[in-house]
Amino acid sequence: MDSSTPSIATEAVLVTSEAMPSDAEVVKGYDFNDGVNYHLLMQSFRQTGFQATNLGLAIQEVNRMLELKLKPISEKDKDRINLDAAGSRPLSNCSIFLGYTSNLISSGVRESIRYVVEHNLVDCIVTTAGGIEEDFIKCLADTYIGDFRLPGRQLRDKGINRIGNLLAPNDNYCKFETWIMPILDQLVEEQNTQNINWTPSKVIARLGKEINNPNSVYYWAYKNNIPVFSPALTDGSIGDMIYFHSYRNPGLRIDLVEDIRRMNSQAVFALNTGMLILGGGLVKHHICNANLMRNGADFSVFVNTANEFDGSDSGARPDEAISWGKIKKAANPVKVYGEASILFPLLVAETFAPFAERTKTSN
């Protein structure tokens, strides 16, 4: 019997490797023997692998947006058109678009989003109707922790609505109706007497003014003149209220055309743009499509759990957006596959929060 190893096996298993590039990064995780240091732990993600590496890359990409935002505008660019059609928001070196789905406002991620908006760290927001109304509703009543497994039939009998493992008593929406109806009356009156052309972004700013609550995302968006776009504003409880109001006091008109021009202008006349999009659907496409108007964003971070096998825009990787001209060919976009209620607060802790503290100190 031949005692030598078959050559076909050795050739298959013991393939000689090419030398790795001199700048190749070595995989290495955090060593807890060095103590518990959350900043260093987060920094280690870059070399950990899998989605930890993608989160590390996302942190780098957002910090690039912020560093460019901080740089002074050159003299030749100072005469560029103001991005806000209302003339209230100054141009910066990097206009940052933040998009998120409504469930994140329902969750405790709302406080992370509010922090970013409160400190004036983004320039344009896109969200869904639920992403608007849930912020105001939380100023009027609480949302509670529940369980994904709570039976819907029993909850319906109790008048409790389930959002994943969150619980929103239906009384919350009744309080929302009581609060918003007089405001809708005012909008109709001002439309008719002052010839105001209401748009979704103008309505949201007005609601942010009226809520007058520093816990609200849109209170701070109003205070900092950050435009908030929601082209499907009627697709939620706020739409229910507009529907009821149309019987009580008909005539309110909300113009989408003025808003799409204002939205696209945020990208068209920007010096550089960055996209940070949590979730998919409308918010992802609306921001990406605005950046198509300038032949692509310079920086991009997508955070969602969707995959591309079904051809959905939600699941599309950044490379697909490059093919459409929504992200520049020279950009280094990042997609993190994961759930934003975990990832976004961590990202804020390593990007927006230290940036805000640093700029506060320097000022």
Q: Which of 326, 328, 335, 360 is catalytic?
A: 326
Other beta carbons within 10 Å of 107: 20
Sign of the CA dihedral running 242, 222, 85, 112:
negative
The bridge status of strand 273-278 relative to strand 299-304 is parallel
**How far apart, in whole angstroms, are the C-alpha atoms of residue 255 and residue 263?**
13
CB-based contact 331:322 (threshold 8 Å): yes
Inter-CA distances, 192 with 114, 133, 181, 248, 251, Å? 33, 25, 17, 16, 9
**How far apart, in whole angstroms, are the C-alpha atoms of residue 46 and residue 62?**
14
Residue given tokens 């991620």 in the structure block: 109
CB-based contact 266:86 (threshold 8 Å): no
223 part of the active site: no
Contacts 24+ apart (CB under 8 A), 87-91: 88/225, 89/123, 89/225, 89/226, 89/227, 91/269, 91/270, 91/271
CB-based contact 292:326 (threshold 8 Å): yes
CB-based contact 42:350 (threshold 8 Å): yes
CB-based contact 256:195 (threshold 8 Å): no
H/E run at residue 323: helix 318-324
Instruction: Give me the half-sphere count of Cα atoms (radius 13 Å) on the Cβ side of residue 190.
Output: 13
CB-based contact 306:338 (threshold 8 Å): no
**How far apart, in whole angstroms, are the C-alpha atoms of residue 248 and residue 303?**
41
Inter-CA distances, 125 with 26, 194, 221, 254, Å? 38, 27, 9, 18
- List active site positions: 326
